[in-house]
Amino acid sequence: MTERVNFDDYTEEYDLALECGLFLAGDDKEYFARRRVQWLADCLQGLFGRPGHVMDYGCGSGSTTGFFFDLLGANFVVGVDVSAKSLELARHHHGSERAEFWMVDQYRPRAQVDLVYCNGVFHHIPPGERAAALDCIWRSLRPGGIFAFWENNPWNPGTRAVMTRIPFDRDAVTLTSLEARQLLQAGGFQVVRTDFLFIFPRMLRWFRKTEPWISSLPFGAQFQVLARKPSCVFSRTKRSSPSLTHCFRDDDAYL
């Protein structure tokens, strides 16, 4: 079993450590963050509408916060993380009356979030602790809320090469898209779709316009599993005979 990385140790040099791997792809972290959120926004159009309240689970220094406002049209963003030093940076650079940041163990889920976004976090969580992390996300979401689960694709050789060059990724326990879907379904989520992104590196960027048509193929450096907390929520403690705790009609969906 892997041990959690102490990201407080990387706060000052996080971007430098990340770039040790990303230079192989030819683009910086801002490119990847923007493209992930834009892809998510395109997925939500016509399916779930605009999320007003967004959570960034594993927000780090909060560098994705602006994209939630600009690309998703969010009204409020809450970021949670395990690194106190990273959260200090997030509050300094991105904190406002519309964005706040919390330690994971201090945040209290209240089933009020429309969308939870999580990128590259679960491969740092020891497998035995992933169900608990997923439960926090579940309890944060409204019935009908959406979970955008992004992870690195271990089937992609470029991904493996990048991760071996990033100090805090070398010993990570990756998840395949199938394992991610099974994890989410075991946690009570309904899987809506799975997409693979970042198929072509910068040197082949002319082909990136084809990615929407081939995103179902497991070639991309990352994948997104888009899942939904059911509008009708059953107790998950006794799966054989669940009891109904909350139920909403489709037209009562929050998204």
Structure tokens at 200: 């072509």
Give residue 206's pLDDT. Answer: 85
Of 153, 152, 139, nearest to 229 by C-alpha is 139
Contact in structure between 196 and 215 (CB atoms under 8 Å): yes
**Which alpha helices (H) appear in the chain, and where do they start and end?**
14-22, 29-44, 65-72, 84-94, 130-140, 157-165, 177-186, 211-214
Of 16, 21, 15, nearest to 221 by C-alpha is 21
Give residue 200's pLDDT. Answer: 81
Give residue 56's pLDDT. Answer: 98
Domain coordinates in residue numbering, the chain: 7-252
**Predicted confidence pLDDT, tens digits, the chain (255 residues):** 344 555 454 445 444 444 544 444 556 678 889 999 999 999 998 777 789 999 999 999 999 999 999 999 999 999 999 999 999 999 999 999 999 999 999 999 999 999 999 999 999 899 999 999 999 999 999 999 999 999 999 988 877 777 666 655 667 889 999 999 999 999 999 999 999 998 887 777 888 889 989 999 999 999 999 999 998 755 554 333 333 333 332 333 333
- Tell me how far apart the alpha carbons of residues 47 and 98 are, in angstroms, rounded to a whole number: 25
Give residue 166's pLDDT. Answer: 61
pTM greater than 0.95 (yes/no): no
Give residue 247's pLDDT. Answer: 36
Give residue 149's pLDDT. Answer: 98
CATH topology assigned to domain 7-252: Rossmann fold (3.40.50)
Give residue 242's pLDDT. Answer: 36
Give residue 14's pLDDT. Answer: 46
- Tell me how far apart the alpha carbons of residues 157 and 163 are, in angstroms, rounded to a whole number: 10
Cβ-in-10-Å burial (0-12, 13-18, 19+) of 173 comes to middle
Give residue 23's pLDDT. Answer: 44
